Amino acid sequence: MALRFHKALLLSCLLAFPAHAATLRTDLRTSFQLTPDSANDGVLSADLRLKVMARPAQDMFFETHLVESQVLQDAAMAPLARSDLDYRLAGLDFPHMQGTHGRGVLAIDRLQMRLSKGAADWTLGRQPVTFGTAFFWNPLDVFRPFGTAALDRDYKPGVDAVRLDVATGDFSGLTGIASFGRSAETSALLLRGHASVSGWDMALQGGRISHGFHLGGSLVGDFDGLEVRAEASQFWGTDNVFSAGGERLLEDHFFGVAGIGRRLDSGLQLEAELACNTLGASGKSVEARARQAAGYMPNLGRRMLAMSASYELSPLVSGRLALVHSLSDESFVFQPDLTLSLADEVDAVVSASFNAGRSGSEFGGLENSLFVQIRAAF
């Protein structure tokens, strides 16, 4: 049933492309990560993304992304996180190389059709769904969110969903999303409303998500030149979800973030956020590590602090310094990164991670690493 749905949508896209001039774009990303202190220290990956977009009519839009991924590394490949199976009817991934030291996968990451009628937009198929206003942590972003330390955030993985957006004003609207997993427990039905009042952007959302119910809201505004952000959610679990080792992966919890930001006259952008996630642990916890490995929480710690400073050194070079500190166990990670524009639509990113803390802490057991990525679009 799930594969028939995706095949029908793909056929609709392919039939629409000859009917109107289609746009074809490619995106190539080659990355290398080095962990000098490890015996298994090399990870080389390359992603080639083919994007095809077409607008056969003024109120109709199709988009599909085909992604070829190649990964080679000296260590055994990590398995998929359990949460990677949520909100997808079928795995549109087709492995053609699989081994203990590498893999190759061709995947359909996006396959969506959008129809517009007046103030309403319908989006059907595999699509990225992003909510949230905070920078490091997003309690409202329930559909396959990025990790705290993710460097590449240009393309968010898609989920299988039907989405309806209705504009109720210039700065207000309603959104309804039905996302389908392989079972009712891994599916979602979410309603969201947003509005702007006296210069403050507000949002409220709630509904059924994977393995429970979710209610959350956000507030963003400017106070005397200082950007203020607040975002929070409450989760009520309905299913008993356990790891292979017997650890309980989900339970009722609160996740909140408060942040501030300011751009100085010099162009320096400063950000700071404080997060509290009651699903986390206040100290060492096997259960918390199991939850993080399954993808159900971004960090081990219950209380986290993050700060960053970014600056455009020149029109072609920008830099950023970020510090993430676990207030639960006093460990931290420091991440400097540099982005260079090498040519038109060709960028290079160089980043490093320096970890410190006691053995068994959030960041104390992680190795320092160097990350280099080349991005090219053509």
Tell the burial category of 129 from Cβ atoms under 10 Å away from its Cβ (0-12, 13-18, 19+): buried
* Alpha-carbon gap, residue 219 to 195, rounded angstroms: 10
Q: Assess contact for 201 and 194: CB atoms under 8 A.
A: yes
Cα 356 to Cα 275, 322, 324, 353, distances in angstroms: 20, 14, 11, 10
pLDDT for 19 equals 46
pLDDT for 3 equals 53
* Alpha-carbon gap, residue 364 to 241, rounded angstroms: 28
Q: Which stretches of the chain drop beneath a pLDDT of 50?
A: 11, 15-16, 19-20, 75-77
- Residue 307 pairs with which residues in a beta bridge? 272, 323
- Residue 27 pairs with which residues in a beta bridge? 49, 377
- In this structure, is the dihedral angle defined by the CA atoms of residues 366, 367, 370 and 374, taken in order, positive or negative? negative
Cα 199 to Cα 151, 171, 220, 223, distances in angstroms: 31, 10, 9, 10
* Alpha-carbon gap, residue 51 to 25, rounded angstroms: 5
Domains of the chain: 2-377 (2.40.160.10)
pLDDT for 245 equals 73
- Residue 173 pairs with which residues in a beta bridge? 167, 194
- The 10s digit of each residue's pLDDT in 16-46 is 455 445 677 788 888 887 776 555 556 777 8
Q: Assess contact for 347 and 354: CB atoms under 8 A.
A: no
Q: The pTM is what?
A: 0.85
Tell the burial category of 158 from Cβ atoms under 10 Å away from its Cβ (0-12, 13-18, 19+): buried
CB atoms inside a 10 Å sphere around CB 218? 23
Q: Assess contact for 61 and 53: CB atoms under 8 A.
A: yes
* Alpha-carbon gap, residue 32 to 276, rounded angstroms: 33
Where do the H-state alpha helices sit in the chain?
A: 2-19, 286-294
Tell the residue number behind the tokens 């209610």, with chain if given: 215
pLDDT for 284 equals 59
The gap from C-alpha 115 to its chain's centroid, in whole angstroms, comes to: 25
